[in-house]
Chains A and B, each alone.
Chain A
């Protein structure tokens, strides 16, 4: 299986920036996904990285380094509605393209 590690909790102030790190170990890397999940709701797709570098999508950016087995999700200009759990997931072609998820990082945005 894959080991996917991300911090359990992070707290930040409205308007600030928060970076959520994710490290992984996999035999057949085939893409890394970030999902956002509000309490009691479905995870929703945020970003996908398969090549090294930064993908920017509005206030959210995701970075990948395949050689380091490392990714981060950057949330800028934090808003109260960004309080949620953020899930890192890795797809592995040697594991029949299944997604393996981290336990999630709960981000709390304070006024």
Chain B
């Protein structure tokens, strides 16, 4: 596997379910991100982890819970979601979060298309 992988690619869940999204990066990066992408809207940053430490929780509801056990893996645990949470959830990684001053671009995974019924 190369780059950034995400599983599952598609997920349909009821509002009372609990599920988890998984992201893995094979690039040796130190920063990982969760974004939400809704139709016709800008990508919304949800969480940032830098060297396994969470550095950003962008006012995300507590029904979304991230976990970063190591610098290669990132999870997003979901519970009691709402229909408006239906969206494409993208994981990304970069060498660092930008503090080095270099143009370290973010590499994105293919996303998980989430539908909440």
Residues of A near any B CB (own CB < 8 A): 4, 8, 30-31, 33, 35, 41-45, 48, 50, 87, 89, 91, 93, 96-104
Contact = CB atoms under 8 A, between A and B. Distances in A.
B108 interface: yes
Interface string B41-55: 111010010000001
B103 interface: yes
B102 to A, nearest CB: 9
B3 to A, nearest CB: 9
Given A8-B40, A50-B103, A103-B42, 14 more contacts: A4-B42, A30-B101, A31-B98, A35-B108, A42-B4, A43-B108, A44-B108, A89-B43, A93-B98, A96-B48, A97-B97, A97-B98, A101-B43, A103-B40
Interface of B: 4, 40-43, 45, 48, 55-56, 90, 97-99, 101, 103, 105-111
